[in-house]
Amino acid sequence: MAKAPSFEDAIKTLESCVEQLEQDDLPIDEALKHFETGVKNVQKCQKALEGARLKIEKLTRDQEQQLTTEPLDL
């Protein structure tokens, strides 16, 4: 089974798609392929960022002034 691309790989692919789409002479079928690839990579990045956000914890001090962690309140 193929390994899922990393967040950084998805960003690089997305940037490449944008560069291709910015070309004036890009045929419409190629533009659509790059657009579809870009949308998929945006979704991968959003999913990765959401996963990271859910893992974030804030550091606090308890009553004994000991450092503890708790889930980030949104």
10 vs 59, which has greater pLDDT?
A: 10
Q: Are 62 and 69 in contact (CB under 8 A)?
A: no
8 vs 54, which has greater pLDDT?
A: 8
Phi, psi dihedrals of residue 67, rounded to the nearest 5°: -70, 130
Percent over 70 (pLDDT), the chain: 84
Highest mean pLDDT out of 42-46, 48-52, 67-71? 42-46
